[in-house]
């Protein structure tokens, strides 16, 4: 997986790991789901600062994605009531039959921008702090291992950890 930001177009590929490692372009419950082979329970939520498997994120997970540097297979998460800079607002599988990064990015941008409207609200562009869409996508390495998931994120535009609640409905 890799993270793609609408405003930052530079890409760094993930390195091969158990499911592939992730890298970032821009600035669950603890112990649950940190191992690529151990599924994170669907009903688990983050209640304290922890590290989550990047391939097992859930809708509504609050993250500190600006803290991610270089290659990664896990992401720092926290309860949404604690300071954070991003939230998972949608998760979907890519429909392409073969790996094509440009096609994946186009689909991710379309789906994630729509998710900003449906999850955050139609006036998401006027909330404080300012938010923008970002996303994790498969890389060619993780694709070869079966990864098709895109995780859409609402991130603070300035990368600050000024969020202390869920962004769900903030733009209604």
- Quick one: pLDDT at residue 140? 85
pLDDT in tens, 71-98: 577 899 999 999 999 999 999 999 899 9
Q: What is the Cα–Cα distance from 156 to 29, expressed in whole angstroms?
A: 23
pLDDT in tens, the chain (172 residues): 666 653 333 232 232 233 344 433 332 222 233 344 566 666 667 877 788 998 889 999 999 988 776 557 789 999 999 999 999 999 999 989 999 999 999 999 999 999 999 999 999 999 999 999 999 888 888 899 899 999 999 999 998 999 999 999 999 9
- Quick one: pLDDT at residue 5? 53
Predicted TM-score (pTM) of this structure: 0.80
- Quick one: pLDDT at residue 34? 37
- Quick one: pLDDT at residue 32? 32
- Quick one: pLDDT at residue 170? 95
169's torsion region: left (phi>0), alpha (psi -120 to 50) or beta?
left
Burial class (CB in 10 A: 0-12, 13-18, 19+), 71: middle
CB 46 within 8 A of CB 29: yes
Domain residues of the chain, as ranges? 2-36+44-156
- Quick one: pLDDT at residue 58? 94
């Amino acid at each position: 997986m890799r993270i793609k930001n609408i405003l930052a177009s530079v890409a760094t590929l993930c390195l091969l790991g158990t499911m592939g490692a992730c890298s970032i372009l821009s600035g669950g419950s603890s112990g649950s789901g940190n191992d690529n082979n151990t599924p994170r329970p669907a009903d688990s939520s983050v209640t304290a600062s922890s590290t989550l498997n990047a391939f097992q994120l859930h809708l509504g997970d609050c993250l500190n994605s600006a803290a991610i540097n270089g290659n990664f297979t896990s992401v720092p998460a926290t309860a949404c009531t604690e300071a954070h800079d991003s939230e998972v607002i949608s998760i979907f599988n890519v429909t392409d039959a073969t790996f094509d990064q440009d096609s994946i990015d186009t689909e991710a941008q379309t789906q994630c921008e729509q998710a900003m409207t449906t999850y955050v609200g139609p006036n998401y562009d006027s909330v404080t702090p300012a938010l923008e869409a970002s996303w994790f996508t498969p890389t060619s390495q993780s694709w070869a291992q079966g990864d098709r998931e895109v995780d859409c994120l609402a991130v603070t535009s300035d990368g600050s950890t000024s969020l202390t609640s869920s962004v769900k409905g903030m733009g209604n």
